Amino acid sequence: MSAPQLVLASGSSARRALLLGAGLRFSVTVSTVDEEALKTQLLAAKAAPIEIAADLASAKAVQVSLTEPGLIIGADQTLDLNGTLFSKPNSLTDLGHQLAQLRGQRHSLHSAIALARDGRVVWQDVVSAHLTMRDFSDRFLQAYLADHGQDVLGCVGGYKLESAGVQLFDQIDGDYFTILGLPLTGLLGALRLFGVVMT
């Protein structure tokens, strides 16, 4: 019996690269879940950032599983500063304000992942990493925005740890894959259980 089809419900190039690097074969069907609307509802219900990540990942996986066969991977990541949810910055100005707020602070990245099949979640997990930004100078911040700002606008934290974003930090506690938005070791364990990856 062949392994079930695997589908990534995300347009994230970083997530695609991680799955490819792990040797997985999969297709991509990007979820059309209205993330902002769902996030607004969850915030109104006083959901915590870690719960929002889990609910968004599940919603994406379930939505795609209604039209695609096999196992669907849904993923989401939220940034949590002392219980306050941060969203992806929309402009360099927003990015500058966000990094200024995070400067000198410890924040959490909650990376959620869900597997769905036939309209229901069959496995899910949330893994958190904790990062402390150094108290960098305004001069450094302006140089970072000029050199790397456009490249990181699609990232919830306003940085890419795998590139110059690492210079923002004093301390990093957590799994590298979690920080990139896909807790890969846990996912691979789940895919072994479902017969997608060899045991």
Residue numbers annotated as active site: 76
> Residue 155: which residues within 8 A CB-CB, separation 6 or more?
88, 165
Pick from 5, 63, 70: nearest CA to 30:
63
Structure-block tokens of residue 68: 């695609």
Give the integer Cα–Cα distance in Å for 103 and 168: 8
Classify 104 in phi/psi space as left (phi over 0), alpha (psi -120 to 50) or beta.
left
Query: How many Å apart are CA 184 and CA 195, to the nearest integer?
Result: 16
Q: Are strands 6-8 and 27-28 parallel, antiparallel or unpaired?
A: parallel
Its sign, for the CA torsion 37, 42, 48, 51, is negative
